């Protein structure tokens, strides 16, 4: 298969991170989550982390110039030469334009954007049940994984926590930001003929396989 450059688009809670982990393994490409990079920067209280934290806690977007520079640097790392999968970037049209320019300046290959669709109601249910492990960063859900409030991580025994931006007020803000800022990115890739759409409402494993099949045969998927 040709070298893959994938962009996962979808509202918060669509399951981008979870499906990206599966696709990374199946396709052998590098998974880049700008949210994970930022959370790490916040945990370390680096310059970037200090600048980003207030926006993230409020469910707002980190300013374009910060995030574009972060993505540029990450995409130039050696592990990106055999393909990449972006999860959480681009989230504004300005970021999408910067990415197009970056690709043109490097190998000029055509990325494929995957629009992962799901209802707001399901998004709210998923986000409010989401738990992350402090040690191995794996994602769980109390509605899916049979996990109690005080349980340790089923994989490594680490402490599970709720992201600050998964609190109800922040979820509301993130959905609004998604409609206002990120939905136009879907149109951007549709106009370029680089978009496929996949319904991600179902059971996780089935959806992962469906996504993989759609990515391998994009012409068969709804554009
Ligand atoms: P995520 O884990 O992708 O949901 O990202 C968590 C938070 O990190 C978002 O709510 C934003 O505050 C910030 N963030 C991640 N990626 C971006 C991006 N591409 N542009 C702006 N902010 C971002």
Q: Could you tell me the distance, in angstroms and rounded to a whole number, from the CA of residue 1 to the centre of ligand 1?
A: 30
Which ligand 1 atom sits nearest the alpha carbon of residue 60?
12
Q: Contact 62/56 with Cβ under 8 angstroms? A: yes
Active-site residue list: 16, 91, 130, 163, 174
Q: What is the pTM of this model?
A: 0.88
Question: Is residue 161 within a helix (H) or strand (E), and if so which, with residue range?
Answer: strand 160-161
Side-chain-facing half-sphere of 98: CA atoms under 13 Å: 18
Spatial distance between the Cα atoms of 164 and 52, rounded to a whole number of angstroms: 13
Which ligand 1 atom sits nearest the alpha carbon of residue 16?
3
Name 176's Cβ contacts closer than 8 Å, sequence gap at least 6. none
The candidate with the shortest Cα–Cα distance to 127, out of 144, 146, 115, 113, is 144
What is the pLDDT, as a whole number, of residue 92? 98
Q: Could you tell me the distance, in angstroms and rounded to a whole number, from the CA of residue 55 to the centre of ligand 1?
A: 9
Which ligand 1 atom sits nearest the alpha carbon of residue 88?
3
Phi, psi of 25 (to 5 degrees): -65, -45
What is the pLDDT, as a whole number, of residue 210? 96
How many residues are recorded in the chain?
Answer: 223
Q: What angle do CA 134, 67, 16 make, to 5 degrees?
A: 55
- Dihedral class, residue 28 (left if φ above 0, else alpha if ψ from -120 to 50, else beta): left
What is the pLDDT, as a whole number, of residue 34? 97
* pLDDT tens over the chain, length 223 residues: 567 999 999 999 899 999 999 999 999 999 999 999 999 999 999 999 999 999 999 889 999 999 999 999 999 999 998 899 999 999 999 999 999 999 998 877 889 999 999 998 899 989 999 999 999 989 899 988 989 878 999 999 999 999 888 988 889 999 999 999 999 999 999 999 999 999 999 999 999 999 999 999 887 665 5
Is the link from the previous residue into 90 a cis peptide, with omega within 30 of 0?
Answer: yes
Any residues with Cβ below 6 Å from ligand 1, and which? 12, 34-35, 38, 55-56, 59-62, 67, 88-91, 95, 165, 174
């Amino acid at each position: 298969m040709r070298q893959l450059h994938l962009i996962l688009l979808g509202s918060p809670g669509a399951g981008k991170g979870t499906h990206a982990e599966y696709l990374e393994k199946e396709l052998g490409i590098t998974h880049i989550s700008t949210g994970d990079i930022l959370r790490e920067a916040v945990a370390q209280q680096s310059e970037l982390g200090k600048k980003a934290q207030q926006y993230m806690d409020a469910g707002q977007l980190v300013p374009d110039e910060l995030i574009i520079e972060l993505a540029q640097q990450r995409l130039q790392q050696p592990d990106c030469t055999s393909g990449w999968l972006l999860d959480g970037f681009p989230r504004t049209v300005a970021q999408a334009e910067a990415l197009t320019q970056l690709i043109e300046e490097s190998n000029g290959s055509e990325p494929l954007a995957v629009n992962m669709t799901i209802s707001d109601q399901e998004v709210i249910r998923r986000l409010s049940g989401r738990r992350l492990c402090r040690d191995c960063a794996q994602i769980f859900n109390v509605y899916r994984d049979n996990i109690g409030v005080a349980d340790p991580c089923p994989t490594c025994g680490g402490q599970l926590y709720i992201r600050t931006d998964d609190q109800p007020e922040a979820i509301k803000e993130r959905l609004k930001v998604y409609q206002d800022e990120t939905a136009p990115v879907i149109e951007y890739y549709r106009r370029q003929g680089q978009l496929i759409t996949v319904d991600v409402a179902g059971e996780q494993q089935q959806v992962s396989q469906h996504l993989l099949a759609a990515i391998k045969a994009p012409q068969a998927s709804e554009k």
